[in-house]
Structure 1
């Protein structure tokens, strides 16, 4: 027999026999009698009833409180607890009820914690005055969600007739990075084209002198004035110290008329601005150099010139210097003429400058008041590549002689000179150091002779769009730990370590066999052929690795408390897991990083781990001629877009939505 149908005003059919919608639970309803009726073996006197404590707690708690007084639980393995007492000294248990909550901590919807009739969890019995604890099943509570819970006591006979006060808490892991959806068709970066010039002098590890320095904002530490001998009247001319640019500035259009042309097609190398910048293969040093007439040591007149020297490492056994000289402003009338009359290039043994005649200059090499033209000279250098397996360090230099004639009726010109190496700005004096090398005898890997600016660190770039799990892990360790490995912004370079045996030792200490399988989640895998990998950062092939002890030359050994050998337990531990529709990078269950760790290890997709490095890093090494102890930077190509809660660094949790660049 067909069921009788009734229709609502809105026209929706409803069977007359269908039950009415269940009433919405009332958070203030009387506690349920989950053990059945009270036993009537004794009087249910109010004073004999058990009582919950007034301060329920959720755990494990973070050191940092969440907003609005919510307790921050920093694990997906949530425990709820409360003290309980019984006037008769009976053993007691607690019933725990959990609700979602709004921002004010008011209950919204009851959470069904298990399949029991009431959806509550009952603790084991504890002694009166003790603490009752229950474990919430993993998955019953959502991450980054507000909750409240309360308790009700039972002593085996009598129930507590009211609930305890509400306790507010949130399940927020110390690390929760929401990752972008991978785009496996995203092309890998072209490491050669991706290099951006900068002013950092970054020496290989262990090299003498300042290992890492930026252009000074004060006067050059070693620069000296270069002057002629005073004449009988006490007058002389000098090339003064060059004027340093503000730290971090790059060339840009100046107030001079017109815009200076790029040197040899290198757009960032021109005379618009004092600067010193380099890539692994090009170095450009632009100086504002005053020419000064002095009387008894006191300046009488100044003519300002721009001196530019760019060196390009553009051949297997050669490199090229481009020199440009031009006035920075009108030549003052106190000068009749400034004439550059000679030049001499210097270089170490096995390095030979090919001096050019005067006719090789483009533009006149003398200036009178009113002239603003430029003069340029290109000088090639060659070096000896005949011996295999050799390494050479070169520091090209140039001496420039000038005749300077004041406009005061005394026509004998003053003769002085300017030498490039005597006028470095502090902290950049070795940025033009060139390292050239030849392949070892019998080398068959396609390596050819070549040169690099050894004190410039190149940048290795992740393909974050294709492999966000590996990129996000490196981003986390760069941003949230004090060592900031590979971060150019924090001036913390990585140093390549080429000892394969040490590489294996470091990796095994941080990522022992089976760690990823024991701590990872298969939802992070790309396909059936993918397997979980342990991704360590800083890399095992770097002196920054947490697995490399100080006695082995390591910079940041990860030593757990009470131990003497590096171990991955002292690193921040994370794992990738699909949560909802997105893959997240979470801190390991039950861990609470201090963010003072020196390293990280993460259980992630093996495909993401291996493809983020693999042959791409090998090509980078070959292109940039990286050798043991050479410095380099890592660009993770990840960005939080200002989404991070609690901030990044300073011991704060890291909860962010990342985007790949």
Structure 2
């Protein structure tokens, strides 16, 4: 039985065709199914349950009251019939059964000395995750273009910067540059080894493999391949820095006499101003001849006006590169063309370089973030496994997967304190944890039971936030219009043997189609899993209303669990903390 609503049943036939009831008696059993100790199913002298009368040949059924049967225990039951005047002279044969709860997570032993994970530990990735409701557009942003070409001459010749190549299409970069060997400006993962785009909350690295093509009437005559690297670091209170590296991906073919590249200009919006470097700022020459493989880099600072308090600004830096390309076939006049960064984004990452700068109290002082990169909040699962296990359960086993990077279901921060209270009170009304929790889960005498809700009340994902209020996943009972915790998966923490378990709530069977969870757990685990650790994460990453973030529960099941997938399947496993 993977349910706390245990029903026992047996078919009964009366020789005279009379209506009959059944008396049900339950005993604990050994591994072979032999009865050991009688279970008192109620407070009566005999501790048995009697069914209602049923027609002869029908099935009689009883429900065992919650709490009478133990988890992971073998049982047997048998029945005795009564037709209103006569009892059976013998009991029926024994039937074996075992009770396992729909949710039984065995938790690791807490290590209260374990340090909190860093609030700035999000590794770089290429996911573009916009704030909730963000349009992603800027007034000065230009539309994505195709190839960037010169005009054709009288012979039908022209030169083009082709669209950047994918990692599979790009030629292997055989350049040996200092930038690649050591990373760019100390950022080890930003180099010209391969074309890709990666970002954290404060660093964005866009590496492109870009062909330079000479064509006649649309047919390529010669192609040279370059690696363009642009890394932006948000490293100041009212400034940030761009690092640009250019190098050939392969030796310049002999079809080219020379390729000469130079910055035309940098672009930004509003008070955002680039400080243009002069030609002498490059680390090496900016022209290449056949066989040449050198790399060159230049740094460009940007500033923005941070003098007005309480403001937010969106910036999208851009750069134009000029090219003079001289073929080696006797044509003396070089072809002139240009390459603009914003006209050559690959699909789905066109706003990874969008910067939000603010002079609010979102973080320490003033500062900037890459607003379309979602940082990751990590639980200290080693120290507070009760809270981490509850979030793990809801994230893994419900269809909304709140906060799961794997399922691309970010949490969206909700900064309205009044709405936070409304959402929390709907999911966790006063007294719920005390009524449904177990004191064995508490850490010490000063600890108290708390109701832990997930997704958090401070998110638009909260089950307690209605759709008219902007909620994404309101927890509604059939026919209901007001969110309620009764529509969430209910669990509680309880010590059994030497380990604390997270069990499904007495008398409830989750369907695993719920959109939220509430759990009666240790108040210390609930509060310390967030508290100052989450406040630090918020400030370090300058999180604002509707900003997305991921949740890493730092729990692992080792591949041993049976997951709920909407069919009422149980979730029973032993968790370990990372």
Q: TM (normalized to structure 2)?
A: 0.92
Residue equivalent to 1:195: 122
Alignment pair present for 1:138 and 2:55: no
Contact 1:201 1:431 in 2 (8 A): yes
Residue equivalent to 1:84: 12
Alignment pair present for 1:538 and 2:465: no
Q: 1:623-660 deviations in whole A, cap 9, x for unaligned?
A: 11111111111111111111103566664211111111
User: Which residue of 532, 547, 562 maps to 1:645?
Assistant: 562
Tell me by how many angstroms 1:204 deviates.
0.8
For residues 449 and 148 of structure 1, do their structure 2 counterparts lie closer, same or farther at Cα, with a shift above 3 Å needed?
same
User: Which residue of 224, 227, 234 maps to 2:149?
Assistant: 227
Partner Cα distance (1:650, 1:269) in 2 = 45
Alignment pair present for 1:613 and 2:530: yes
Partner Cα distance (1:345, 1:115) in 2 = 79
Residue equivalent to 1:460: 377
Q: 1:18-65 deviations in whole A, cap 9, x for unaligned?
A: xxxxxxxxxxxxxxxxxxxxxxxxxxxxxxxxxxxxxxxxxxxxxxxx
Residue equivalent to 2:302: 381
Tell me by how many angstroms 1:296 deviates.
0.5
Partner Cα distance (2:506, 2:313) in 1 = 52
Which structure has the larger Rg over C-alpha atoms? 1
User: Structure with the greater relative contact order (CA < 8 A, sep ≥ 6): 1 or 2?
Assistant: 2
Q: Report the secondary structure of 1:201's partner residue.
A: coil
User: Which residue of 289, 295, 307 maps to 1:368?
Assistant: 289
Q: TM (normalized to structure 1)?
A: 0.81
Partner Cα distance (2:575, 2:288) in 1 = 57
Tell me by how many angstroms 1:396 deviates.
0.4
User: Which residue of 378, 387, 390 maps to 1:473?
Assistant: 390
The 10-residue stretch of structure 1 (589-598 or 221-230) with the greater mean CA deviation from structure 2: 221-230
Partner Cα distance (1:271, 1:169) in 2 = 63
Residue equivalent to 1:164: 92
Tell me by how many angstroms 1:378 deviates.
0.6
Residue equivalent to 1:32: none
List runs of 5+ in structure 2 lacking aligned partners. Answer: 138-142
Partner Cα distance (1:115, 1:654) in 2 = 27
Contact 1:348 1:395 in 2 (8 A): yes
Partner Cα distance (1:115, 1:653) in 2 = 25
For residues 413 and 650 of structure 1, do their structure 2 counterparts lie closer, same or farther at Cα, with a shift above 3 Å needed?
farther
For residues 519 and 254 of structure 1, do their structure 2 counterparts lie closer, same or farther at Cα, with a shift above 3 Å needed?
farther
Partner Cα distance (2:273, 2:61) in 1 = 83
Residue equivalent to 1:486: 403
Partner Cα distance (1:136, 1:350) in 2 = 70
User: Which residue of 178, 181, 196 maps to 2:106?
Assistant: 178
Q: 1:378-427 deviations in whole A, cap 9, x for unaligned?
A: 11111111111111110000001011111111121111111000001111
Partner Cα distance (2:566, 2:66) in 1 = 31
For residues 410 and 128 of structure 1, do their structure 2 counterparts lie closer, same or farther at Cα, with a shift above 3 Å needed?
closer
Q: 1:601-628 deviations in whole A, cap 9, x for unaligned?
A: 1111111000011111111111111111
User: Which residue of 28, 33, 38 maps to 1:107?
Assistant: 33
Partner Cα distance (1:559, 1:128) in 2 = 37
Q: Report the secondary structure of 1:490's partner residue.
A: coil
Q: 1:240-262 deviations in whole A, cap 9, x for unaligned?
A: 00013479xxx9x9666685430
Partner Cα distance (1:455, 1:125) in 2 = 62
Partner Cα distance (2:376, 2:54) in 1 = 63
User: Which residue of 415, 423, 433 maps to 1:516?
Assistant: 433
CA RMSD of aligned residues (A): 2.6
Tell me by how many angstroms 1:86 deviates.
3.6
Partner Cα distance (1:569, 1:115) in 2 = 27
Residue equivalent to 2:508: 591
Contact 1:223 1:425 in 2 (8 A): no
Alignment of 1:13-412 (within 5 A): 72-75=1-4, 78-87=6-15, 89=18, 92-98=21-27, 100=29, 107-108=33-34, 110-114=36-40, 121-124=47-50, 126-127=52-53, 129=55, 131=60, 133=62, 135=64, 138=67, 140-143=69-72, 145-153=73-81, 160-192=88-120, 194-209=121-136, 222-245=144-167, 260-412=181-333
Tell me by how many angstroms 1:582 deviates.
0.8
Alignment of 1:621-636 (within 5 A): 621-636=538-553
Partner Cα distance (2:66, 2:343) in 1 = 71
Contact 1:486 1:492 in 2 (8 A): yes
Partner Cα distance (2:406, 2:240) in 1 = 31
Q: Report the secondary structure of 2:151's partner residue.
A: coil
Q: Report the secondary structure of 1:476's partner residue.
A: helix
Q: Report the secondary structure of 2:364's partner residue.
A: coil
Contact 1:99 1:111 in 2 (8 A): yes
Contact 2:237 2:365 in 1 (8 A): yes
Q: Report the secondary structure of 1:404's partner residue.
A: strand
Q: 1:69-118 deviations in whole A, cap 9, x for unaligned?
A: xxx2401x64433343444537654252445465xxx52453432499xx
Residue equivalent to 2:140: none
